[in-house]
Amino acid sequence: MPQLSADDIEQLRAQFERQLDVGLHHGAQLAVYVDGDLVVNFAGGSTGPDGDETTPETRHLLFSCTKPFAGVALHQLVEEGELDYDDRVVEHWPEFADDGTQKASITVRQVLSHTAGIPFGEFDDQPERWGDWDAVVAAMEDIEPVFEPGTTPAYHAINYGWLVGELIRRCSGQPVEAYVAENVFEPLGMDHTGIGLRDDEPDTVATLAGYETSERCHAVEEGLEDPAAEYAAAFNQEAMRRAVIPAANGIGTARDMARFYACLANGGSLDGTELLTEATVDEATTTHAETESDGTLSRPARYGLGVWTGGLAADMFGAASKERMFGHAGLGSSFGWGDPELNVGFALVTNGIREESFEHAARVGQLSDAVRLLLQD
């Protein structure tokens, strides 16, 4: 198997530190597993604008990098026979939709592949209620399709987590955060990762910084919305960090995330721990929906079942990624991926929210390319 030499690792360190030196973020972590071994575990910068030193153990807000953690938990329940990908959601959650309605046709597969047709709704604009799971369930029962289910790939930015989370609760009898902790994080040794903070955990999470237009690395048209600081302020609130938001408020480290992807890249097992069978990993990481213009993101997208898949031009997987790569981004700040061909798990985690379509993709893509090119030399 390809390996990273000491010189390769120093090249990666130089690129990682260069991003800190030029001010792309206050602090960051980069972790890489190759063939099951942790070979890179960098940390640098500060935990916020006036923070302490970032270490490999500093916990960060992971935003949508949380989605695959919940997705794997649902795949585990499929393996256990608690549900099937082509089951209708109402078979496990009867109150979700009325019989005979368009919404009642939504399947588990469509939820996981962002084709359920309910990507957004009024509840998206009510973050003060996101910490109330009863309110979450009621909102998903009330929501009506924006698109006909199964027809339009449209990123379910927040609703993905509510839907997957309640399916996990209905099929396992456990709240999503408890089930994922017991069946994903703990077995794999992801000791610094959770979905939200629990009551007995201190809030020592790195402070997010949203980079405004004036701090951007490229010209931005006047008048365009600039929400980075708004998102940072919202998710810096302790109440938001202590909520359970399975699509958006995972809290963890790059090392844990890279370990997660190393396990999946290795066929679902790592160091004697099996999260999923190889057949399930193949099913989950195959493209199930593809579009030239996503109904929410308005850009090309490829979706597996709970993950994004690679191979699109100049995406965050790298400039020449392959479709069999899989992973997920977190709002303008973090990205993790697995490559089964190279048997690599990769994660970059930062506390700086940068513009999604250009700056965030550029900084992640640079390091993704560097890892893959060094391994292919």
Concatenate the DSSP letters of all residues of 214-249 into one string.
GG-SS---TT----HHHHHHHHTSHHHHHS--TTTB
In which residue ranges of the chain is CATH 3.40.710.10 found? 6-66+191-376
Q: Give me the architecture of the 6-66+191-376 domain, per CATH.
A: 3-Layer(aba) Sandwich (3.40)
Q: pLDDT digits over 222-269, tens only?
A: 444 457 788 889 999 999 999 999 999 999 999 999 999 999 999 999
Asked if 350 and 65 count as a contact pair (C-beta separation under 8 A), the reply is no
Q: CA 10 to CA 101: how far, in whole Å?
A: 58
**pLDDT (0 to 100) of residue 357:** 64
How many CB atoms are located within 10 Å of the residue 245 CB? 24
> For the packed helices 67-79 and 159-172, what is the interaxial angle rounded to 10 degrees?
30
Q: CA 286 to CA 127: how far, in whole Å?
A: 33
Q: CA 33 to CA 62: how far, in whole Å?
A: 19
Q: CA 158 to CA 141: how far, in whole Å?
A: 15
Q: pLDDT digits over 158-185, tens only?
A: 999 999 999 999 999 999 999 999 999 9
Q: CA 298 to CA 313: how far, in whole Å?
A: 15
Digit-by-digit pLDDT tens for the chain (377 residues) are: 678 999 999 999 999 999 999 888 999 999 999 999 999 999 999 999 889 999 999 999 999 999 999 999 999 999 999 999 999 999 999 999 999 999 999 999 999 999 999 999 999 999 999 999 999 999 999 999 999 999 999 999 999 999 999 999 999 999 999 999 999 999 999 999 999 999 999 999 999 998 764 455 444 444 444 577 888 899 999 999 999 999 999 999 999 999 999 999 999 999 999 999 999 999 999 999 999 999 999 889 999 999 999 999 767 898 888 999 999 999 989 999 999 999 999 999 999 898 766 778 888 989 999 999 899 86
318 DSSP assignment: B
Question: For strand 250-252 and strand 194-195, is the pairing parallel, antiparallel, or unpaired?
Answer: antiparallel
Residue 276 has which token pair?
């999923």
Q: Rounded to 5 degrees, what angle do the CA atoms 195, 196, 197 make? A: 125
Q: pLDDT digits over 195-217, tens only?
A: 999 999 999 999 999 876 445 54
